A and B are shown apart, each in its own frame.
Chain A
Amino acid sequence: MKIIVCVKQVPDTSGKVAVNPDGTLNRASMQAIVNPDDMNAVEAALKLKDETGCRVIVVTMGPPPAMGMLRELMAMGADEGVLVSAREFGGSDTYATSQILSAAIKKLGIEDDDIIMCGRQAIDGDTAQVGPQIAEKLGLPQITYAADIKKEGETITVKRMLEDGYMTIKVKTPCLLTCIKELNAPRYMSVRGIFDCMDKPLETYTYETLKDDPLIDLATIGLKGSPTNIFKSFTPPAKGAGMMLEGDDRDTCDKLAGLLSAKHII
């Protein structure tokens, strides 16, 4: 059994977001971090590794510096890393990215008891599309928004966290899960893990490695193969400061009703 976790290095948007004059993100000026939801996916995989002893492989598509991120995930406990990196892959949107990652996963091989995990969405694009697209392209069942994962044999029970409640679903492996932050609290690297991670295998898949896969067609990968067109990027105007009323008495309620009424909300 193995778990393949797809991860992405993203600019840290919790600090200052820098935008280039053309509207694209100025990634160079922002710190690179592992996409937060992806960290939850890695932690979920490592927990299953703790329970079952399975192998955990972390896969990312990105420029060569993303190798540092893969080493960090291996220092947390992942067994292997795969960097998918080629000039031909640059500029890919979610459609093209999922083509390439699916080909990389096929290259790793999918066995009956394998699981593929992704974060729900990345904080730079916020699309939540890559995970589901990979599942579709690989013909695997998918469960999104996993807030709890239990594995018994080849059956996985997943609690999905939706806006209006929970949904529990059972699925057979192989399958793909997308993970949310409520699932767990990611562990740190350990000192031992850091000094072990350099000895773990870290492979690079280039265009040459994957080009024989039918999914890898120059018309469906990279900037040219990406159907998404960005018309405009902008920083949304800052929301006004909120107002808090405290109290559980009638006066507070009246005050609240008065404020809402004055703004024609009620």
Chain B
Amino acid sequence: MVDFKLTQEQEMARKMFQQFAEEEIKPLVRDMDEAEEFDFELLAKMHKYGLMGIPYPKEYGGQGGNVLTYALGMEEVSKIDPSVGITISVHTSLCCSCIYEYGSEEQKQTYLRPLIDGTKTGCFGLTEPNAGTDAGGVLTTAVKDGDEYVLNGQKVFITNSGFADTFVIFAMTDKSLGTKGMSAFILDKGMPGLEVSKNIPRMGIRASQNCEIAMMDVRVPADRLIAKEGMGYKIGMGALAGGRIGIGAQAVGIAQGAINETVKYVKERKQFGKTISKFQNTQFKLAEMQVKTDAARLMVWRAAVGKDNGEAYAPMAAACKLFASEVANEVTRLAVQLFGGYGYSREYPVEKLMRDAKITEIYEGTSEAMKMIVGGGMLK
């Protein structure tokens, strides 16, 4: 162990993420949540300033950062709006990583470069109505026909699909092989037969675009198959393993964002002739909230550094996501409680953070699935 200090670049990046979130995202948060729409000017600025390709090398047009820097970005952005966080996360950790980790050199140049140089936005299509935690239950099929594959099926809860240019889609090339018969393909918006529904109404992270996808005889050139037939499950699980660091960081951001709002509020709110910050209950609750959030952050950073260093990071990523998402839910609930009635109102941001927190225990692997990974690893 050397020290816990961020590098100068990471400190600068954190400052930049904070500035961007405060000045560009904060003014839009409430309106985007109410309208259940993402602001496209904001998306363009996120691309322009490099928020959409942080941990990818410059040689492919990426920003040249690493996973820890990406986690810092996820936390800072999610403090202000977790919807923006998940938009970055699905693009970066899921869509881009499938192509970066498993794509051919030509696929990286053709499809990854525009995703990480600020040109295009990506999504990741694995989940189906009957394939959630049991991702092997994918029913979408891909049938080879000459030098094309023909895709048919349906996807659900696909974040970013409402405006994505590039879709990484998982489909069965051989159902008889189970998960070993799954393959991953790169699709483009507007391919004939590829239909995206409207945003699915949700409890939280409402500004992100999370839609259903229907594929009816979508003809995909064979050179858009990532790696080989049958590699899809491995590719998808690998992306999700890394993605959990981003979700852990998002959860830490949600918790810290709620704490920051609460600290401001309790110093202003007066009851019984004094600010509620003077009550020991407030101080004890805030201390619990902050200590747990700090612990979660350390777990996220540990997993991020693990991935940066090429360690076997998957169990660390699962553990940080499990813990951080539970902390985010507990902390935001306590934040609303300290605010009292105003916390429940939409006048203050903590009710939104509480709504947004819930999904972190569900997506990119439920808490139960995380326990399977951590517990399973312990009993090997």
Contact = CB atoms under 8 A, between A and B. Distances in A.
Nearest to B66: A195
Contacts of A197: 9, 12
Contacts, number: 53
Contact of A68 (B8, B13, B48, B58): B8
Given A75-B12, A198-B8, A191 B58 contact: no
Contacts of A72: 12, 15
A51 B53 CA distance: 25
Contacts of A191: 13, 16, 49-51, 53-54, 63-65, 69, 73
B19 interface: yes
Contacts of A75: 12, 16
A192 B16 contact: no
B20 interface: yes
A188 B13 contact: no
Interface string A174-200: 000000000000001111111111100
Nearest to A72: B12
Contacts of B50: 190-193
B12 A192 contact: no
A190 B12 contact: no
B8 A192 contact: no
Contacts of B19: 188
Interface size, A (range)? 10 to 19
Interface string B215-244: 000000000000000000000000000000
A68 B8 CA distance: 9
A190 B51 CA distance: 8
| B12, B20, B50, B69: residue with the most chain A Cβ atoms closer than 10 Å | B12
B132 to A, nearest CB: 33
A159 interface: no
Interface in B2-18: 8-9, 12-13, 15-16
Interface string B41-69: 00000001111011000100001110001
B71 to A, nearest CB: 13
Contacts of A195: 9, 58, 63-65
Given A75-B16, A196-B64, A190 B9 contact: no
A192 B9 contact: no
A189 B16 CA distance: 6
| A75, A191, A198: residue with the most chain B Cβ atoms closer than 10 Å | A191
B8 A190 contact: no
Contacts of A68: 8
Given A71-B12, A72-B12, A75-B12, A192 B48 contact: no
Contacts of B65: 191, 194-195
A192 B12 CA distance: 11
B51 to A, nearest CB: 7
Given A189-B15, A191-B64, 7 more contacts: A71-B12, A188-B20, A191-B65, A193-B50, A195-B64, A196-B64, A198-B8
29 contacts: A68-B8, A71-B8, A72-B12, A72-B15, A75-B12, A75-B16, A188-B19, A188-B20, A188-B49, A189-B12, A189-B16, A189-B49, A191-B13, A191-B49, A191-B50, A191-B51, A191-B53, A191-B54, A191-B65, A191-B69, A191-B73, A192-B63, A193-B50, A194-B9, A194-B13, A195-B64, A196-B64, A197-B9, A197-B12
